[in-house]
Amino acid sequence: MRLLTKGYLRIEMNKALLVSELQFKGIRSSGAGGQHVNKVSSKVELSFEINKTNALTTFEKERILEKLSNKINKENVLILQCDESRSQHKNKDLVIKRFLKLIENSLLIPKKRKVSKPKKSAIEKRLKSKKRAALKKVNRRKPDLD
């Protein structure tokens, strides 16, 4: 684990091993594209079986299952798709980058916040400014003629 600048702990992972465990499938992309679209499978579907991977520890697997529960199906398989480009190779690279970023972000652990109290001088300063504002409002009132 490594501490990051914004108060997060990063878990180091073996990206090469993770990528080697990914499974890819080419699918025909939807949308416009002319005659060529019916012949080529340019859309890429990435699937990653979380329980069967050797690249992650049990703690990391549990954390991913918890954080990405809305993207994981009942068999604990993470499925991502990409059809941004007309090239299958570009789509494959894009979906791998997206997958690694997703896994990396799900493994970030926020640093615990230390509870702190304001200093006495800060409290006094705040109270003085409140008194000043109150006096200002009292002086704006119409005088009592009793």
Give pLDDT, residue 133. Answer: 96
Q: What is the DSSP letter of 80?
A: E
* pLDDT digit string, tens, across residues 95-139: 999 999 999 888 888 888 889 999 999 999 999 999 999 999 999
Average pLDDT value for the chain: 86
Give pLDDT, residue 46. Answer: 92
More confident residue, 34 or 101: 101
Give pLDDT, residue 65. Answer: 92
Pair type for strands 8-10 and 2-3: antiparallel
Q: Are 95 and 83 in contact (CB under 8 A)?
A: no
Q: Are 50 and 72 in contact (CB under 8 A)?
A: yes
Total domain count, the chain: 1
Task: Answer whether residue 76 shows pLDDT above 70.
Answer: yes
Task: Answer whether residue 33 shows pLDDT above 70.
Answer: no
* 124, part of any domain: no
Q: Which of 89-128 are b and which e, b meaning 16 or more Cβ less than 10 Å from the residue's Cβ?
A: eebbebbbeebeebbeebbeeeeeeeeeeeeeeeeeeeee
Closest of 110, 107, 8, 108 to residue 50, by C-alpha: 107
Taken in order 7, 9, 15, 19, the sign of the CA dihedral is negative
CATH number for 81: 3.30.160.20
d(CA 146, CA 139): 17
- Average the pLDDT over 63-71 and give the result: 91
* 126, part of any domain: no
Domain, as residue range, for 105: 2-110
